[in-house]
Chain A
Amino acid sequence: MVSFTSQRLAVALAVALTVSIVAFLLLHLSGDLATAIAGPEATATQIAEIRHQFGLDRPLALQYLDWLWRALHFDFGNSFYYRDSVTSLLAVRMPVTMTLGAVSLTLSLVIAVPLGVLAAVYSGTIIDRLALGFCVLGQAVPAFCLGLGLIIVFAVQLRWLPVSGTASWKNYLLPSFALAWYAVPAVMRLSRNGMLEVLSSDYIRTARAKGLRPSVVILKHALRNAIIPVVALAAVQFGFMLGGSIVIEAVFNMQGLGYLAWEAIARNDFPVVQAVVLILALIYVALTFLADVANAFLDPRIRLA
């Protein structure tokens, strides 16, 4: 287990390092940084001064190490657009996206796992078909379309929930649902397949033969084992949700990380883009690592293979 974990950790670190190089280069490929910082009307002398002042005249590798060191201390410099540090922008935006992601993940698990189990238990019946149909729908409807549809029905027609913003917990319901909708098919399919596999295994037959009630067999014996891959998938889906919330945040006007990234791209605000890319990628790497380790812990076949 230790060797497996350290192996995965090494891979994760390597990926993180690569991502940081890409993020760093992103800023430097975007054009002349000194000109950008100096603003459109700066003179050549002013630009040269800024180049020196910000250390942009040093070798690229040195600049990278310097940047990495500061990034490790959560210092991403200042936004070109807002007169504020990138870190303080992130501090405000991060909770919105995290909350959205967490609620969405919970919602998608609550919907998808029972649905997957049902589909497996009643495999081949109309219930299975319906669940699959639901899946296809989830995969086929684009997030922004679903988002606008939800706004029209629940906010404009029924007036149950607010349209946009992040003012109260109610504001999170519609966007979370729209985001969860997208993750449901994958989780559901995986729990269904896991259940099918487990249900046909010998120990389930034994459990049934002992005369245990079907609900006990399904929930206590089968689900526990079938759910293992879902744990890993959930972690990866969470990463997807954080990164994929851009559209949902824009439609629901939520000032989260995705929205910030989208605005920053349109504003050529590279320090912000860079920080968001780095942070989302790192979270993703961390989640994948956690998923690997959790899986290995749960399933000895993985760590011994």
Chain B
Amino acid sequence: MKTSRFSLATLFAVVGIAAAPAAALAGKSNDTLVYASDSEPENVSPYHNNLREGVIIARHVFDNLIYRDPATGKYMPQLATSWTWVDPTTLDLTIRKGVTFHNGDPLTADDVVFTLNYVVSPQAKVVTKQNVDWIKSAEKIGNDKVRIHLVGPFPAAIEYLAGPVPIYPEKYFKKAGLDGFAKAPIGSGPYKITAVTPGKGVTMEKNKSYWQGSPLGQPTIGKLVFRVVPDAETRLAELMTGGVDWIWRVPKDQATQLKSAPNITVLSAETMRVGFLQFDALGRTPAAVPFKDARVRQAVSYAIDRKAMIDNLVGGSARIMNSACFIDQFGCTDKGVPRYDYNPAKAKELLKEAGYPNGFKTEIYAYREREYAEAVIGYLRAVGIDAHLNYLKYAAMRDANRAGKAPITFYTWGSFSVADASAFTGVWFKGNADDSSHDAEVQKLLKEADTSVDTNRRLKIYQEALKLIAEKAYLFPLFSYPANYAFTSDLAFTAQPDELPRFFRAHWK
């Protein structure tokens, strides 16, 4: 008996009961807004992740050069007080004085020049390449003047500067390095990061000395906590019990239920996010070989009933998309673009023509809304295609796709909230890492559309490119995503279609 007690005691001694820190409580009474989402960015540095959760953090912690008013679409000064086009490939900006980073360092033209030159350098290994690869270089041309040289004419440059191009502190970044910066990022935005805990989330605190006159306004909520809660049921339970204050991506059925819950506000809005299937048209794996044939890609497109998916699964304000972009983006249109209305008989016919009368086996990759991916698999099975689901975290799926291992990928793309079609097509069709068709004609058209300074010409060529993409069925657009937000009724929160919750604008009632 003595011995058995001894062995148990040893076990517990080895184990050691971890002393748990006191809980950080959510809610109005603590002036702490806890928001939960399913995924966490691989790296908090905004240029080193392409996850929506990362975009949200970026907009709270960093400042952009230019601000776009989400209500009017007008561009307003943010860090740049003014800007002028010298010629279609040269942009001059005047940098605001008196802005400081969270560590007290002043934000100057040098920081802007450093950031822009750093993110286009190969050693920066940015993963959001499409957001910055229009920049050739930046130089300081005066005390507070910065000149950006473009690779070529790029009319959407202002839109990008107003979005996914935040400004970094040169001195701090050089000292900390990317690894240090990822653990303790410093920006100049309305919130400053106090802790980054892998697997758990990020805590932020109101920047009390945020510069006056910012178009973002002054933040009012004292603390922001981003919590990673991968399980949807757990997120819901946390919201109902006040463990978190704000959740989104609430499935349709849960949102309906939640509407009757007391003290919880449910908000539904369409977003710029588009769900789509990308095919490995290059046929880089044996399972992807059939997709080299346009008829097979078209067959898949005909096989899927998007309307039924919206009615039964997606709900809300989702719209069917027919072009490889979000319909309200500048340059995006579905006029004259071929449509693939649900027609399983035609799908089977096309498969037969392509030499697959009995279908084939393949792989599908997905990273979110597993139920949508499963619905797609069901539709494919109905026409004889047996697709096996690989459900991965975003970065792993992206890397598998970039390595050519994914015959079909169920992607969603929110265009980094950039209201220009180039933010969509530029990622998937311009020969970058995520392009799995490498169609020279499409690339040529897009190159011209992206760089044309003539607005009408831009619109016309985008239309041509989108038409070609749909004809070849390289990418099958499904629908725009509705966002179901659910949050405590203590919170005054408004949603924007660009899928960017602006907590710096939110306040307690």
Which residue numbers of A lie inside 8 Å of B, CB to CB?
35, 39-41, 81-84, 89, 92-93, 95-96, 98-99, 101-103, 105, 148, 151-152, 155-156, 159, 162-172, 224, 227-228, 231, 234-235, 238, 250-253, 255, 259-260, 263, 266-268, 290, 294, 297-298
List 14 extra interface pairs beyond A99-B18, A250-B231, A259-B199, CB under 8 A.
Answer: A92-B197, A98-B15, A148-B233, A163-B243, A164-B237, A166-B20, A169-B20, A172-B20, A231-B7, A251-B234, A253-B229, A253-B230, A266-B396, A267-B392
Whether, in the assembled complex, B71 has its beta carbon less than 8 Å from a beta carbon of chain A, the answer is no
Which residue numbers of B lie inside 8 Å of A, CB to CB?
1, 3-4, 7-8, 10-12, 15-18, 20-24, 42-43, 125, 129, 178-179, 182-183, 197-200, 227-231, 233-234, 237-238, 240-241, 243, 391-393, 395-396, 398-400, 402-403, 433
Tell me, rounded to whole Å, the shortest Cβ–Cβ distance linking A195 to chain B. Answer: 15
Inter-chain contact A255/B199, CB cutoff 8 Å: yes
Which residues on A sit within 8 Å (CB–CB) of B391? 266
Main secondary structure of the interface of A (DSSP, over half): helix
Q: How far is the CA of A93 from the CA of B400 in the complex (A)?
A: 27
User: Which of A98, A103, A252, A260 has its CB near the most chain B CB atoms (within 10 A)?
Assistant: A98
Inter-chain contact B237/A163, CB cutoff 8 Å: yes
Question: Contact partner of A95 among B16, B179, B238, B393, CB < 8 A?
Answer: B16
Which residues on A sit within 8 Å (CB–CB) of B11? 102, 105, 235, 238
Q: How far is the CA of A92 from the CA of B196 in the complex (A)?
A: 13
Q: Which residue of B lies closest to A260 (CB)?
A: B199
Question: Contact partner of B243 among A92, A148, A164, A169, CB < 8 A?
Answer: A164
A-B contact pairs, 27 of them (CB 8 A): A40-B433, A83-B182, A95-B16, A98-B18, A99-B17, A102-B11, A103-B17, A105-B11, A151-B233, A164-B234, A164-B237, A165-B23, A165-B227, A166-B20, A168-B22, A172-B20, A227-B1, A235-B7, A253-B229, A263-B393, A266-B393, A267-B393, A268-B392, A268-B400, A294-B4, A297-B3, A298-B3
Question: Contact partner of B237 among A41, A155, A171, A266, CB < 8 A?
Answer: A155
Inter-chain contact A83/B237, CB cutoff 8 Å: no
Question: Contact partner of A101 among B15, B240, B392, CB < 8 A?
Answer: B15
Tell me, rounded to whole Å, the shortest Cβ–Cβ distance linking B19 to chain A. Answer: 9
Contact of A41 with B433 at beta-carbon distance under 8 Å, contacts A156-B240, A164-B237, A294-B7 already known: yes
Inter-chain contact B24/A167, CB cutoff 8 Å: yes
Tell me, rounded to whole Å, the shortest Cβ–Cβ distance linking A278 to chain B. Answer: 17
Question: Contact partner of A40 among B42, B227, B231, B402, CB < 8 A?
Answer: B402
Question: Contact partner of B15 among A35, A84, A99, CB < 8 A?
Answer: A99
Inter-chain contact B178/A83, CB cutoff 8 Å: yes
Contact of A102 with B17 at beta-carbon distance under 8 Å, contacts A83-B43, A163-B238, A266-B393 already known: yes
Which residues on B sit within 8 Å (CB–CB) of A235? 7, 11
User: Which of A35, A152, A228, A263 has its CB near the most chain B CB atoms (within 10 A)?
Assistant: A263
Q: Nearest 9 pairs between A and B by C-beta?
A: A167-B23, A95-B18, A40-B402, A255-B199, A266-B393, A102-B15, A163-B237, A268-B396, A267-B393
Q: Which residue of A lies closest to B182 (CB)?
A: A83
Tell me, rounded to whole Å, the shortest Cβ–Cβ distance linking B180 to chain A. Answer: 9
Q: How far is the CA of A72 from the CA of B182 in the complex (A)?
A: 29
Q: How far is the CA of A105 from the CA of B24 in the complex (A)?
A: 28
Question: Contact partner of B125 among A39, A172, A267, CB < 8 A?
Answer: A39
Which residues on A sit within 8 Å (CB–CB) of B18? 95-96, 98-99
Q: How far is the CA of A156 from the CA of B393 in the complex (A)?
A: 29
Q: How far is the CA of A167 from the CA of B241 in the complex (A)?
A: 15
Which residues on B sit within 8 Å (CB–CB) of A152? 237
Q: How far is the CA of A165 from the CA of B398 in the complex (A)?
A: 28
Tell me, rounded to whole Å, the shortest Cβ–Cβ distance linking B486 to chain A. Answer: 14
Q: Which residue of A lies closest to B198 (CB)?
A: A82
Contact of A231 with B4 at beta-carbon distance under 8 Å, contacts A163-B234, A166-B20, A171-B20 already known: yes
Tell me, rounded to whole Å, the shortest Cβ–Cβ distance linking B123 to chain A. Answer: 10
Which residues on A sit within 8 Å (CB–CB) of B20? 166-169, 171-172
Which residues on B sit within 8 Å (CB–CB) of A263? 199, 393
Contact of A84 with B4 at beta-carbon distance under 8 Å, contacts A162-B243, A167-B21, A238-B11 already known: no
Q: How far is the CA of A151 from the CA of B400 in the complex (A)?
A: 36
Which residues on B sit within 8 Å (CB–CB) of A164? 229, 231, 234, 237-238, 243
Tell me, rounded to whole Å, the shortest Cβ–Cβ distance linking B258 to chain A. Answer: 12
Q: Which residue of B lies closest to A36 (CB)?
A: B399
Q: Which residue of B lies closest to A39 (CB)?
A: B125
Inter-chain contact B1/A224, CB cutoff 8 Å: yes
Tell me, rounded to whole Å, the shortest Cβ–Cβ distance linking B191 to chain A. Answer: 21
Which residues on A sit within 8 Å (CB–CB) of B395? 81, 267
Which residues on A sit within 8 Å (CB–CB) of B125? 39, 41
Inter-chain contact A267/B231, CB cutoff 8 Å: no
Tell me, rounded to whole Å, the shortest Cβ–Cβ distance linking B227 to chain A. Answer: 8
Q: Which residue of B lies closest to A234 (CB)?
A: B8
Inter-chain contact A155/B241, CB cutoff 8 Å: yes
Q: Which residue of A lies closest to B390 (CB)?
A: A266
Which residues on A sit within 8 Å (CB–CB) of B7? 231, 235, 290, 294
Which residues on B sit within 8 Å (CB–CB) of A167? 20-24
Q: Which residue of B lies closest to A256 (CB)?
A: B199
Q: How far is the CA of A250 from the CA of B12 in the complex (A)?
A: 24
Which residues on A sit within 8 Å (CB–CB) of B229? 164, 253
Which residues on B sit within 8 Å (CB–CB) of A148? 233
Tell me, rounded to whole Å, the shortest Cβ–Cβ distance linking B508 to chain A. Answer: 22
Question: Contact partner of B42 among A81, A101, A166, CB < 8 A?
Answer: A81
Tell me, rounded to whole Å, the shortest Cβ–Cβ distance linking B76 to chain A. Answer: 35
Q: Which residue of B lies closest to A147 (CB)?
A: B234
Inter-chain contact B237/A251, CB cutoff 8 Å: no
Inter-chain contact B23/A162, CB cutoff 8 Å: yes
Inter-chain contact A159/B403, CB cutoff 8 Å: no
Q: Which residue of A lies closest to B25 (CB)?
A: A167
Q: How far is the CA of A228 from the CA of B43 in the complex (A)?
A: 51
Q: How far is the CA of A102 from the CA of B8 in the complex (A)?
A: 10
Q: How far is the CA of A159 from the CA of B396 in the complex (A)?
A: 37
Inter-chain contact A40/B403, CB cutoff 8 Å: yes
